[in-house]
Chains A and B, each alone.
Chain A
């Protein structure tokens, strides 16, 4: 089945540092989404990307939809302790159901 390769698997950084994570796929996606999940909770949508090449920001977060439609990255600038959590990318293949394919997740830890 379709898979998304998300990297890195985990990151341990110092507060104030910038963070970058990415997802790649062998399949073309119509939509790329980035979610954050805190322990014991459901994922929360951070950024949605709908067009190839699109660059979108949400506060300190910036994400881009790759030109080939097979990849996306998420950057977090000036990290803070509350950025701790698991970040997932998700791709939407078809437009008739909204079904998502998830990456494996990137666990982010921030040292104050």
Chain B
């Protein structure tokens, strides 16, 4: 099956610093990549939709200046949490999708645990 990687798998940073998370589709070119965040015991909350070469589309309530998304190629998207604060601590998950057989197949990365101290 299709493989999506994320780096780093976990990161601890100090309040006020910025953190970059990478999402890569390893064996396919992704039509679109999505970024989610997940709080403990809760479902995945979509943050933004990212297409290669264009600006990301953010969900309502997600600050685009806070969560910067860059989609440099069909296999790489990055999420930068700028000026991180403790409330940004969460599990961030990306997914990558491609069109096959008349439908979209979506595969998830293993997630990145961000802890802001």
The residues of A with any CB-CB pair to B shorter than 8 Å are 1, 30-31, 33, 35, 40-45, 48, 50, 88, 92, 95, 97-100, 102-105, 107
Decide yes or no: A40 and B104 within 8 Å by CB, A98-B32, A102-B43, A105-B43 being known contacts.
no
How many chain B residues sit at the interface, stated as a range, is 20 to 34
Query: A103 contacts which of B43, B99, B102 (Cβ < 8 Å)?
Result: B43
Residues of B within 8 A of A102 (CB): 43-44, 46
Q: Are A40 and B113 in contact (CB under 8 A)?
A: yes
| Of listed A43, A98, A107, residue having the most chain B CB within 10 A | A98
Within 8 Å CB of B102, what residues of A?
A: 50
Given A41-B111, A43-B44, A104-B43 in contact, is the A99-B34 Cβ separation under 8 Å? yes
Contact A50 B103 (CB under 8 A): yes
- B34: chain A residues within 8 A (beta carbon): 98-100
Near A by CB (< 8 A), chain B positions 77-105 give 91, 93, 95, 97, 99, 102-105
Q: How far is the CA of A92 from the CA of B46 in the complex (A)?
A: 13
Q: Which 4 A-B pairs have the closest CB atoms?
A: A98-B104, A42-B108, A98-B97, A42-B111
